[in-house]
Chains A and B, each alone.
Chain A
Amino acid sequence: MDERTHISIQDLNVFYSGLHVLKNISVNIPDRKITAIIGPSGCGKTTLLKSLNRLLDALDGVRVEGKVLVDGEDIYGPKVEVTRIRKKMGLLSQKPQVLPMSIYDNVAYGPRVHGVKDKRELDRIVENFLKVAGLWDEVKGRLHHPASRLSMGQQQRLCLGRGLAVGPEIILGDEPTSALDPQSSQNVEKRLMELKQDYTVVVVTHILRQARRIADYIIFLYLGELVEHGPASEIFANPRNPRTRAYLTGEIS
């Protein structure tokens, strides 16, 4: 496989108040592909994901060592501005977290924060990204209703549109379908498949079948260690490490 690397993780170590949760992780995440981080519960999947947009080091008692290069720049570098790093990445959390404002304002929030003031420009952005998120037709008549009244599935797509509206290059998903019903999950998966044309997508998932459905690249973590990574077709067809094989066959979960 000859892919360009978008995110390069080098010797990443994470400690939670003394506990060593990620151990010497080094992996390159390919550009414009869906990379799935898989592994049993508590193996550090979410930690790895959150280390990518610097949400992790905001937590208490967390120490991060090593490098994460995004477009060649170390995001843990001393001069790096955190808000600019985060603007590069849209985050989908486990449970959709809409902001306490209208549907319109949810999408406009990011652009406004980054300085877009023109009403017509904002209208255009909101319409555009609600369409990309596949939500426009369902909400176009009630853009100024509270976002909290949408269904869970709609809220998650709103979060997707909201994240895309700040113009990121990377989409991070932390088990983004785990709180959704099957139909909404399918809908979100479909969006992610479409979005990999233009974005690098990294999702944490504990659903193996989901990883099989959508992932191009797999990172398998076990107890904080990177056991195996590679193109999804190879890993699923022919896992080299016995622990990966055990996980894929369901012996460990």
Chain B
Amino acid sequence: MSAVDRINGALRRVPVLPLYALGFVPAAVYFWLALQNRLGADPVKALEQEYGLIALQLLIAALVVTPLRDLARVNLLRFRRMLGLMAFYYVVMHLSVWAVLDRQLDWPRIVEDLTKRPFIMLGMAATVLLVPLAATSTDWAVKRLGALRWRGLHRLAYPATALGAAHYVWLVKAWPLEPLLYAAAVAALLLYRAVRGRQKATVRATGARRTA
């Protein structure tokens, strides 16, 4: 049995449900630290940034599943729904910290931010794109929509992740390395999807011609 087979075998034995609980642990720990005033001088900003960063990392992790399966034959498909949903929950927590603790539900200023600040608009757009994905994350929704339509809809994860990465690059001062690295990772993953999609289309087309 190869190493990859052993990894896949071990992964098959990992139950998914407890991972949701595990996924909320960092959120709870950061919130606890913030309450204790142990998250630095500006706990609101720190909490906002931690939740946002974890959301982006989870979105990227969900995009890594396919290339990992294609290129390394490691199969994480069972965990992709969990990754996507956890990303959505972290986006919601990130947005909530911003609206409640940072902007303090000052609606006129929230509306001003949402209409005037491009980086906030990008973040909000990413959030909006993720809502239908979270809403159709159940097996029932897949059956109801049909696999093809469901897959089409869930390609919204690509623009949502790209918007999230752009949101991060745009909000910082100057050009620190970290947001650029995240953006590069997202660009590479999306490029992989594009190339793979084209190859598949070519294979299908040539296959169709041969059988014709």
Check if A and B associate. no
